[in-house]
């Protein structure tokens, strides 16, 4: 009997192996066929056509002037027939209906495939960075900062897959996402687009997004090409302002910023967008070292490298490393840029053609770049059918998308404080709902939501609720007093006297503060403090003498310390998206047990950005420190914090061995017991600490995480595998090493020790 089982097992394994070999061989064959076709096509193409492929322009260049959203046929032909552009991007300041997208894409592809000699389709690119945010009725998910709070990679993949399906349904097959910058500068206006301050979250979740976008195979009607961005070091500008220089030593770049790109490159992302900023005095767009030696040579990245908005031109106009616009083009192309998002003129095309003719840029480089672009177009099936596909369009609507948006919003919400278990609230309470975020959609969505800034509320789907609307639906026998209006800045939203008067009739005050929607530079701030009008409102609420529940819809942590002690509960919503308001109502009234945990350290003071993975010396208090001295790691709320309506207790950490060897691994197992009355999900983070190392070791590093559901009164075992690679760091020779010695592993309030021996 046993023999028989072994034989069948062997046969099964043989077939499975054969199957996977056959699959790999098939994929390799398909790739080889594409490469043959690309070579043959390049041979037929003129230099103009090749350079045109490398040129990407904004939709404005093919649309009629002013507010008109119609294609200008003359401009369209100039772009595609005369300048032979390979790619078009963006919207003209508004989101389009599915039909409008079809009209636009169809007309572009008609001209490209009927009026050009080699009939090369156009690759249209869009920023669908938290769902199909530029399609009317598209589903919008929480921004990455909230997805990271969920500690749920599967959910990230699921959301990205829906974004892929809806984007492909519009006829677009290239998405400028995921963002892999690590959010270590909370002033930065794009903080909400990051997965927080830890590179593991960015790497794991970024890769999950790549799988969600591309996992079905680029040819499938449910896939889009992903674009990992912004390579490299965009998220750590010293000033905190957008597109300003980063001074970040290479050892730290390699330790903290490069790994997510390596991981997502290994996950197979087919394109990369370059950081507009500069790193240690060198604009990334001009860096052969980072774009070619490291990206291609070390990371083995094979996809297409596109510039960011106008950044080739800016090597001359802003960064001043190129003394002419033409030199800027030469620099960028020779550094490794394959496609220039020009995007408002044809200067790149004209200069590159000249440079090619003068021999300043070799044809081999042009063939390489154009080859990568054509390869992607072929993989995406654009040569077979460049038009919006019937099978893709049929998938645009599905009830499950809204359900996933709700699931994601719920898992992203992070309960930071709940004094005396004031939450959840009874549904028959009298509630005063106030604050600029109470009746505003933009603050729940943030950047890239139907418009770039996310502020055009008329473009949001009818089904999207504000917090006020969601609470109205939720209350049962209770009463809602709310005077908040949609305009974030309206006087009514900040009327402290009115608030105090209304509070007399209320059992609880729910105060919705934070930030209005913004994107990129318009979101720049010079002070992380919450704005004074909001602080004033918060003080008034505290003085009203009723329990105050603070709901924060914001893209980055705004300092709350002056009012935080007066808050009875704080719920961080981030930018929760299409179903965010309902998710907030679910948590406030106990229909959902919150389980998000912070992916960043929420600062307490405007000048203290100590992060969770600080060095020991960052916490040392000198004997003569004054009252304003070093507070160590003393954020308002630490990385990893998130409360639940139930309580969890951790058992001891059990290690499969206390010695780890180079080719070996250790399993760390822990029991998580739900000691409360409600079922609850819990996010379990595993950290390690290197006790002594040649480079000062951080106090802790996140190495793994898992989200588990634990029924009330029950216990669940969670196991993690620890490998030597997980304990590695970049040493002074810029090499990643794991040094022998003692380590600690920490989960919850428990820790255990082991040694790594070579
Ligand atoms: C942003 C990119 C975006 C591009 C195209 C730029 O301003 O930095 O993230 O993909 O615009 O919209």
Q: Best mutation site among 59, 129, 176 for ligand 1, i.e. most ligand atoms within 8 A of its Cβ? A: 176
Phi, psi at 235, each rounded to 5°: -80, 0
d(CA 552, CA 443): 9
The upper half-sphere exposure of residue 518, i.e. CA atoms within 13 Å in the direction of its Cβ, equals: 20
Between β-strands 736-737 and 729-730, what pairing exists: parallel, antiparallel or unpaired? Answer: antiparallel
3-class state of residue 57 by DSSP: strand
C-alpha dihedral sign at 78, 80, 83, 87: positive
- With H, G, I as helix, E, B as strand and everything else as coil, classify residue 229: strand
- pLDDT given at position 621: 78
**Cα Rg, the chain, nearest whole Å:** 27
Q: Is 36 an active-site residue?
A: no
Q: Mean pLDDT, 10 residues at a time, over the chain (758 residues)?
A: 51 56 80 96 98 98 96 98 98 97 98 98 98 98 98 98 98 98 98 98 98 98 98 97 97 98 98 98 98 98 98 98 98 98 98 98 98 98 98 98 98 98 98 98 98 98 98 98 98 98 98 98 97 97 98 98 98 98 98 98 94 94 74 94 98 98 98 98 98 98 98 98 98 98 98 98
For residue 480, the cross-strand partners are 431
| Best residue for ligand 1 mutational test, from 284, 306, 309 (most atoms within 8 Å of Cβ) | 309
Which residues sit opposite 228 in a β-bridge? 272
Residue whose CA is closest, atom 6 of ligand 1? Answer: 309
214 lines ligand 1 (CB under 6 A): no
Distance CA 352, CA 154 (A): 43
Q: DSSP labels for 74-117?
A: HHHHIIIIIS--SEEE--SSS-B-HHHHHHHHHHHHHHHHHSST
Tokens coding 29: 């064959």
Query: Which two three-digit tokens encode residue 528?
Result: 């992380």
Classify burial at 181, counting beta carbons within 10 Å of its beta carbon; exposed 0-12, middle 13-18, buried 19 or more. Answer: buried
Measure the CA angle with vertex 716, ends 713 and 718; round to 5°.
155
Whether 351 lines ligand 1, by a CB cut-off of 6 Å, is no
Q: Is 134 in the pocket of ligand 1 (CB under 6 A)?
A: no
Q: Is residue 95 within 8 Å of 138, Cβ to Cβ?
A: yes
Structure confidence at residue 7 (pLDDT) = 52
- For the beta sheet containing 569-572, the strands, ordered from the edge strand earlier in sequence to the opposite edge, are 414-418, 569-572, 548-553, 508-514, 430-434, 479-482
pLDDT for the residue 8: 55
Count of alpha carbons within 13 angstroms of residue 272, beta-carbon side: 33
Q: What is the pTM of this model?
A: 0.96
Residues near 125 by Cβ (< 8 Å), separated by ≥ 6?
A: 56, 87, 88, 89, 90, 172, 174, 175, 176, 227, 306
Buried-exposed string 72-94: b where 16+ CB fall within 10 A, e elsewhere: eeebbebbbeebbbbbbbbbbeb
Cβ 90 under 6 angstroms from ligand 1: yes
Set 308, 568, 685, 690: catalytic member: 308
Distance 308 CA to ligand 1 centre (A): 6
Rounded alpha-carbon distances, angstroms, from residue 744 to 122, 539, 698: 53, 43, 12
Question: How far apart (Å, rounded) are the C-alpha atoms in residues 208 and 21?
Answer: 24
């Amino acid at each position: 009997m046993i023999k028989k089982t072994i034989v069948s097992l062997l046969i099964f394994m043989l077939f499975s192996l054969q199957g996977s070999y056959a699959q790999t061989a098939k994929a390799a064959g398909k790739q080889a066929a594409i490469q043959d076709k690309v070579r043959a096509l390049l041979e037929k193409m003129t230099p103009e056509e090749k350079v045109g492929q490398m040129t990407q322009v904004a939709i404005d260049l093919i649309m009629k002037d002013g507010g008109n959203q119609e294609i200008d046929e003359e401009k369209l032909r100039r772009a595609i027939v005369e300048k032979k552009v390979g790619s078009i991007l963006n919207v003209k300041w508004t989101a389009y209906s599915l039909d409008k997208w079809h009209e636009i894409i169809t007309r572009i592809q008609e001209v490209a495939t009927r009026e050009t000699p080699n009939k090369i389709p156009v690759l249209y690119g869009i920023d669908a960075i938290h769902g199909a945010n530029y399609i009317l009725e598209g589903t919008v998910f929480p921004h990455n900062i909230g997805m990271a709070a969920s500690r749920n990679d599967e959910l990230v993949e699921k959301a990205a897959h829906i974004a892929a399906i809806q984007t492909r349904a519009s006829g677009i097959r290239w998405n400028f996402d995921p963002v892999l910058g690590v959010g270590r500068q909370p002033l930065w206006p794009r903080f909400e687009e990051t997965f927080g301050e830890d590179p593991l979250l960015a790497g794991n979740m970024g890769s999950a997004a790549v799988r969600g976008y591309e996992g079905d195979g680029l040819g499938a009607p449910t896939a889009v090409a992903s674009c990992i961005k912004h390579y490299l070091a965009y998220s750590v500008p010293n000033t905190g302002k957008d597109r300003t220089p980063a001074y970040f030593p290479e050892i730290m770049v390699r330790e903290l910023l490069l790994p997510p790109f390596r991981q997502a490159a290994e996950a197979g992302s087919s394109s990369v967008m370059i950081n507009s900023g500069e790193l240690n005095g060198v604009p990334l767009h001009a860096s052969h070292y980072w774009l070619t030696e490291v990206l291609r040579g070390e990371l083995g990245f094979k996809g297409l490298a596109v510039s960011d908005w106008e950044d080739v031109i800016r090597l001359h106009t802003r960064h001043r490393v190129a003394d002419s616009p033409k030199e800027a083009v030469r620099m960028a192309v020779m550094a490794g840029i394959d496609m220039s998002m020009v995007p408002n003129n044809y200067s790149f095309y004209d200069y590159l053609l000249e440079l090619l003719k003068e021999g300043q840029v070799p044809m081999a480089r042009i063939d390489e770049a154009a080859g990568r672009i054509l390869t992607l177009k072929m993989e995406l099936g654009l040569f077979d059918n460049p038009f919006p596909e019937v099978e893709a369009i049929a998938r645009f609507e599905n009830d499950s998308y809204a359900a996933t948006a709700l699931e994601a919003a719920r898992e992203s919400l992070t309960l930071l404080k709940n004094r005396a278990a004031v939450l959840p609230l009874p549904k028959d309470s009298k509630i005063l709902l106030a604050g600029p975020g109470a009746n505003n959609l933009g603050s729940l969505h943030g950047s890239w939501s139907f418009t770039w800034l996310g502020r055009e509320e008329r473009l949001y789907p009818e089904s999207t609720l504000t917090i006020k609307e969601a609470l109205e639906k939720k209350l049962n026998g209770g009463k809602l007093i709310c005077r908040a209006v949609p305009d974030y800045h309206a006087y009514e939203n900040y009327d402290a006297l009115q608030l105090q008067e209304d509070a007399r009739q209320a059992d609880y005050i729910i105060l919705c503060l934070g930030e209005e929607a913004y994107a990129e530079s318009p979101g720049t701030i010079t002070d992380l403090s919450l704005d004074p009008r909001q602080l004033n409102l918060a003080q008034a609420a505290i003085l009203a003498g009723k329990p105050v529940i603070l709901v924060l819809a914001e893209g980055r942590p705004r300092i709350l310390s002056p009012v935080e002690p007066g808050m009875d509960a704080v719920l961080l919503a981030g930018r929760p998206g299409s179903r965010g308001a309902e998710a907030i109502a679910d948590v406030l009234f106990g229909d959902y047990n919150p389980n998000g945990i912070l992916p960043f350290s929420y600062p307490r003071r405007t000048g203290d950005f100590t992060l969770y993975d600080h060095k020991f010396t960052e916490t040392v208090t000198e004997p003569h420190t004054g009252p304003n001295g070093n507070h160590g790691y003393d954020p308002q709320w630490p990385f990893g914090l998130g409360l639940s309506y139930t309580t969890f207790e951790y058992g001891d950490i059990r290690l499969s061995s206390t010695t780890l060897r180079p080719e070996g691994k250790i399993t760390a197992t822990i029991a998580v017991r739900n000691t409360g009355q409600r079922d609850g999900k819990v996010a379990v983070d595993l950290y390690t600490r290197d006790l002594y190392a040649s480079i000062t070791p951080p106090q802790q590093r996140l190495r793994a995480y898992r989200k588990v559901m634990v029924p009330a009164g029950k216990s669940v075992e969670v196991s993690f595998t620890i490998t030597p690679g997980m304990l590695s760091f970049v040493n002074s020779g810029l090499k990643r090493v794991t040094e022998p010695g003692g380590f600690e592993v920490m989960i919850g309030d428990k820790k255990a020790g082991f040694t790594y021996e070579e």
